[in-house]
Amino acid sequence: MVTALPFILASSPPSNVLYRVGSLSVERSSADVLISEKGTFKAGFYQVGDNAFSFAILFSETLDRQKTVVWMANRDWPVNSRGSRLSLRKRGDLALLDADRRGVWTTATTSAGDGEVAKLWETGHLVLMDGKRKLVWQSFDHPTDTLLPGQPLTRSLRLVSRAAEGIYTTGYYVAHFNDDNVLSFVYDGPNNVFENGRTRYLLHYFEGITDAFFTFYSFL
CATH number at residue 113: 2.90.10.10
Is the same domain home to 127 and 194? no
pLDDT of 32 over the 90 cut: no
Is the same domain home to 63 and 151? no
Is the same domain home to 129 and 151? no
pLDDT of 201 over the 50 cut: no
**What is the C-alpha separation between 132 and 211, in angstroms, rounded?**
31
Is the same domain home to 118 and 154? no
Bridge-based pairing of strands 126-129 and 167-177 is unpaired
Last residue of some domain: 82, 112, 141?
141
**What average pLDDT is seen over the chain?**
79
Confidence of residue 220 (pLDDT cuts 50, 70, 90): very low
In a domain, 200, yes or no: yes
In a domain, 106, yes or no: yes
In a domain, 172, yes or no: yes
Nearest to 52 by CA among 3, 104, 16, 95: 104
Q: Is 57 in contact with 71 (CB distance < 8 Å)?
A: yes
Last residue of some domain: 116, 141, 166?
141
Is the same domain home to 135 and 159? no
Q: In this predicted structure, what is the pLDDT of residue 61?
A: 65
Confidence of residue 155 (pLDDT cuts 50, 70, 90): confident
Mean pLDDT of 80-87: 92
Burial group, residue 141, by CB count within 10 angstroms (0-12, 13-18, 19+): middle
pLDDT of 9 over the 60 cut: no
Cα-based distances in Å from 105 to 77, 151, 182, 204: 9, 22, 31, 27
Number of domains in the chain: 2
Q: Is 65 in contact with 49 (CB distance < 8 Å)?
A: no
In a domain, 3, yes or no: no
Is the same domain home to 39 and 123? yes
Q: In this predicted structure, what is the pLDDT of residue 193?
A: 53
Q: Residue 14: how many CB atoms within 10 A of its CB?
A: 16
Q: Is 128 in contact with 115 (CB distance < 8 Å)?
A: yes
Question: Residue 51: which domain range?
Answer: 17-141
In a domain, 90, yes or no: yes
Is the same domain home to 100 and 164? no
Q: Residue 165: how many CB atoms within 10 A of its CB?
A: 15
175 beta partners? 159, 185
Task: Count helices and strands (H / E) in the chain.
Answer: 0, 18
Is the same domain home to 103 and 211? no
Nearest to 202 by CA among 177, 173, 182: 173
Confidence of residue 112 (pLDDT cuts 50, 70, 90): low
Q: Which residue has the higher pLDDT, 77 or 13?
A: 77
Weakest-pLDDT range from 60-64, 66-70, 132-136, 140-144: 60-64
Q: In this predicted structure, what is the pLDDT of residue 184?
A: 83
Q: What stretches of the chain adopt beta strand conformation (E)?
A: 17-19, 23-25, 34-35, 41-49, 52-59, 69-72, 85-88, 94-97, 103-106, 117-120, 126-129, 135-138, 146-147, 158-164, 167-177, 183-187, 201-207, 212-218
Is the same domain home to 88 and 110? yes
Is the same domain home to 72 and 115? yes
Is the same domain home to 44 and 31? yes
Is the same domain home to 26 and 125? yes
Last residue of some domain: 101, 126, 141?
141
Q: Is 51 in contact with 145 (CB distance < 8 Å)?
A: no
